[in-house]
Copies of this chain bind each other. A is one copy, B any other.
Amino acid sequence: MKKIRVMIVGYGNVGRGVRLSLGKNPDMELVGIVSRSPERVGKELPDVPVMAISDVEGWKKAFRPDVAILCGGSKNDLPQQGPEFAKYVNTVDSFDNHSRIPEYFADIDAAAKASGHVSVISTGWDPGIFSLERVLGGAFIPGARAYGFYGLGEKGGLSMGHSDALRTIPGVKDARQFTHAIPEAIERVRRGENPAFEPGDMHTRECFVVLEEGADREAVTKTILSMPGYFAPYKTTVNFVSQQELDEKYKGFPHDGLAIAVGETGDRHAARVEYRCIWGSNPEATANVLVAHARAAARLAGENRSGAFTILDIPPAYFTTLSREELLEHWM
């Protein structure tokens, strides 16, 4: 079988995860990486072809990708890269700024339709798998609200966005933020209350901060606790640790979550569905989902479809290598 030719755009934690994931999906091959820092990436990966992201004619000719997996960030990279790359190639991305998804979808849809490409946007585990589970929960249990909780385990889940926010504070040398779900809130949902939560009712935030020499603990604490959106609405704890402690005890990118919907069927019978995921590495989890969607993008393109798609627009069989016969025989 001809392999799906995949190009990675942007080589950070998610890009690394995509490279590793491609190695476990035998129907795909990594044809190259494009980066704003091709020299840095080339040094890290001497055996992989790497080109500058700006050299469009170059990578098109050299890599001839079927799908480009865009691994940049949602704040600055994707709003520009998404519509741009959709002009040249089928794309998949994990754009995760929930409130701006309609606008991003429209931008990409216009570019991808004009060029005749498929662009799958906003996938990963949330948005992505959780979006799917929320919609299924609402469809199969009419009237149930769908909730998402994060960081149910003892250590909680590492939030990249909130860690980045901490690092912008003057006096902070390094920091990591772990999100914790509030167990009582989950219990209320499980009991079928379908409560109207404020953000601070569902999660708490735990910060581990390394200070720069001479920085003012109290000022930093105050800045954190009053940061609008990120920390102000939440019960937040701030712990000051050494760099060594941070690197040893709070390393890695673990994350986990729960999508849940509770309601009733027919004659007042309780109904509850829960989707739970636990990831040792959040960026690798996102990468795995991106790679499965690259397979779907290639199939949709093979049917001469074009425009923007989300996980909600794709038949689930498109994510797997399994044939219709195998699916009917062993997976139904």
User: Does A314 belong to the interface (CB within 8 Å)?
Assistant: yes
A197 within 8 A of B: no
Residues of B within 8 A of A102 (CB): 325, 328-329
Whether A278 sits at the interface, judged by CB under 8 Å, is: yes
Report B-chain residues with C-beta under 8 Å of the C-beta of A273: 129, 275-278
B24 and A292: CB pair below 8 A? no
User: Is the CB–CB distance between B136 and A319 below 8 Å?
Assistant: yes
Among residues of B, the one whose C-beta sits closest to the C-beta of A252 is B269
- In the bound assembly, the distance between CA atoms of A25 and B139 in angstroms comes to 9
Report whether B143 and A316 are in contact in the complex, using a CB–CB cutoff of 8 Å. no
Interface 9-mer from A38-46, A56-64, A226-234, A280-288: A280-288
Which residue of B101, B134, B140, B287 is within 8 Å of A292 (Cβ)?
B140
In the docked arrangement, what's the CA distance between A24 and B20, Å? 46
Confirm or deny: A161 has a beta carbon within 8 angstroms of a beta carbon on chain B. no
Does the CB pair B266–A136 fall under 8 Å?
no
Residues facing B in A233-271 (CB within 8 A) are: 252, 264-267, 269-271
Contact partner, A135, options B140, B284, B289, B327, Cβ 8 Å: B327
The answer to whether A20 and B265 touch across the interface, beta carbons within 8 angstroms, is yes
Contact A277 B280 (CB under 8 A): no
Interchain CA distance A276-B20 in the complex, whole Å:
29
Residues of B near A312 (CB, < 8 A) are 315-317, 327, 331-332
Chain B CB within 8 A of A98 CB: yes
A side interface size, CB within 8 A: 68
Interface assignment of A131: CB less than 8 Å from any CB of chain B: yes
Enumerate chain B residues within 8 angstroms of A119, measured Cβ to Cβ. none
Identify which of residues 61-114 in chain A touch chain B, using a CB-to-CB cut-off of 8 Å.
98, 101-102, 105
B270 in contact with A316 (CB, 8 Å):
no
Residues of B within 8 A of A276 (CB): 272-276
> A270 CA to B264 CA in the complex, in Å?
34
Known: A276-B274, A316-B135, A328-B102. A269 touches B281 (CB 8 A): yes
A116 sits at the interface (CB 8 A):
no
| A273-331 interface (Cβ within 8 A of B) | 273-281, 284-285, 287-289, 292, 295, 310-317, 319-320, 322, 325, 327-329, 331
Question: For the complex, is A204 an interface residue (Cβ under 8 Å from B)?
Answer: no
Are the C-beta atoms of A265 and B287 separated by less than 8 Å?
yes
27 residue pairs of the A-B complex, CB under 8 angstroms, read A17-B265, A24-B143, A102-B328, A105-B328, A127-B332, A134-B331, A135-B327, A138-B331, A139-B316, A139-B319, A140-B289, A140-B292, A140-B319, A141-B288, A252-B269, A269-B279, A270-B278, A271-B279, A271-B285, A272-B277, A273-B278, A274-B274, A274-B276, A274-B277, A312-B317, A313-B315, A315-B315
Name A residues whose Cβ lies closer than 8 Å to a Cβ of B: 16-17, 20-21, 24-25, 98, 101-102, 105, 122, 127, 129, 131-136, 138-143, 146, 252, 264-267, 269-281, 284-285, 287-289, 292, 295, 310-317, 319-320, 322, 325, 327-329, 331-332
10 extra interface residue pairs, beta carbon distance < 8 Å, beyond A138-B322, A271-B278: A24-B143, A133-B275, A136-B316, A142-B288, A252-B269, A264-B280, A270-B280, A310-B328, A312-B315, A312-B327
